[in-house]
Amino acid sequence: MKDKINTKIVKINPNNIDCDIIKEAAEIINNGGIVVFPTETVYGIGADALNDEAVDKIFKAKGRPQDNPLIVHIGDFDDLYDLVEEVPENAKNLANKYWPGPLTMIFDKSDVLSDKISAGLKTAAIRFPLNKIALELLKESKKPIAAPSANTSGKPSPTEAAHVIEDLMGKVDMIIDGGSTYIGLESTVVDMTSEVPMILRPGGVTIEDIVKVLGECEYDPAIIKSNEKIIPKSPGQKYRHYSPKAKVILYKGLVENIVEKIIEDYEKFELEGKTVGIMSTDQTHKYYNKKNVICVGDRTNLLTISSNLFRDLRKFDQMGIDVILAEAVNEEGLGKAIMNRLSKAANKTIIV
């Protein structure tokens, strides 16, 4: 983008939506512009998914690699049939339970969606969001909206409008401030074209949730063991993501061992002249006396951690921290998604 855009920032109360603002935002979408809007997961940077020039603007604004596919958002289940070749019965069952919601499904795409959306793949990722503002924008624009997270590519995803302003001011036409997002991590992505439904990116809908509906589901091996050579069918698969400016070190093991090792390393990095920060939990906060600590949430309520994770990674950067020492959490349920994001943000993982 050569010229700086005059970005308009507007506030919307999700419980009392201003229809005039939604109409203005929909007009921007329909005229090939880009609008940032909240979802229940993170903020998205949206453009008309059927307009290649508009989609190009998303990649340019984010600095996003062209081989990283985009998620297409719809405002009604029936919109799905225009965008994909086939809707399998198991996808209908999953949608019946978790749409609208933090779930993206991958289908064989129809010719309506260009290769720009899918990064040249024959599949497309589709989501039906739950957030009221997102739904109103989709319904008013009467278009499917391509919308990856509204951040500079590689940085922590935005969960508040302030994060978007920091990254994308002057690069988008409008930013809708709808308050903090609820889940705080991007949607679960499930490949419905594989023989057994496969999670390509964990999120708010867990593998346990999906198995309850479909009877079976697997994780993509790339989630278990990182492989940079994969062809990504989902955002978040190929590149290092969610990273603050600071170096992140992730500590896994028994909680008491994690605490002991973090205290040891904190003092070591300080002796090296580094400014160090600790990402703690409610259960461990008290052990890091007189240190730079941000408590990310409660280990017994992982939603508190997921909703704060990206916000707190950004806070460390604002504090001028050089090294973040982050505690791992249990990988069951939502913990799998939290650890997926932390692992991708981390420069190094230490097992204690």
pLDDT value for 1: 43
The domain locations on the chain are 8-224, 247-351
d(CA 217, CA 199): 7
| Of the candidates 204, 179, 212, the residue with the CA atom closest to the CA atom of residue 101 | 204
d(CA 151, CA 95): 28
d(CA 346, CA 52): 34
pLDDT value for 241: 65
Average pLDDT over residues 30-35: 98
pLDDT value for 232: 57
What CATH class has 8-224?
A: alpha beta
| Identity of the amino acid at 112 | V
Phi, psi angles (nearest 5°) of residue 149: -65, 145
d(CA 216, CA 198): 9
Query: Is the per-residue pLDDT at 340 higher than 60?
Result: yes
| Of the candidates 19, 22, 348, the residue with the CA atom closest to the CA atom of residue 174 | 22
d(CA 183, CA 264): 33
pLDDT value for 240: 55
pLDDT value for 238: 53
251-270: pLDDT as tens digits: 999 999 999 999 999 999 99
What CATH number labels 247-351?
3.40.50.11030
pLDDT value for 257: 98
pLDDT value for 218: 97
pLDDT value for 236: 54
11-28: pLDDT as tens digits: 999 999 999 999 999 999
Contact indicator for 309, 233 with CB cutoff of 8 Å: no
84-132: pLDDT as tens digits: 999 999 999 999 999 999 999 999 999 999 999 999 999 999 999 999 9
d(CA 148, CA 39): 11
38-95: pLDDT as tens digits: 999 999 999 999 999 999 999 999 999 888 899 999 999 999 999 999 999 999 999 9
- The confidence band for 7, taking pLDDT boundaries of 50, 70 and 90, is very high
212-251: pLDDT as tens digits: 999 999 999 988 765 445 555 655 555 556 789 999 999 9
Q: What is the pTM of this model?
A: 0.94
pLDDT value for 67: 82
What tokens were used for 311? Answer: 């916000």
| Identity of the amino acid at 89 | E
The helix/strand/coil state of 165 is: helix
| Identity of the amino acid at 78 | D
150-170: pLDDT as tens digits: 999 989 999 999 999 999 999
DSSP 157: P
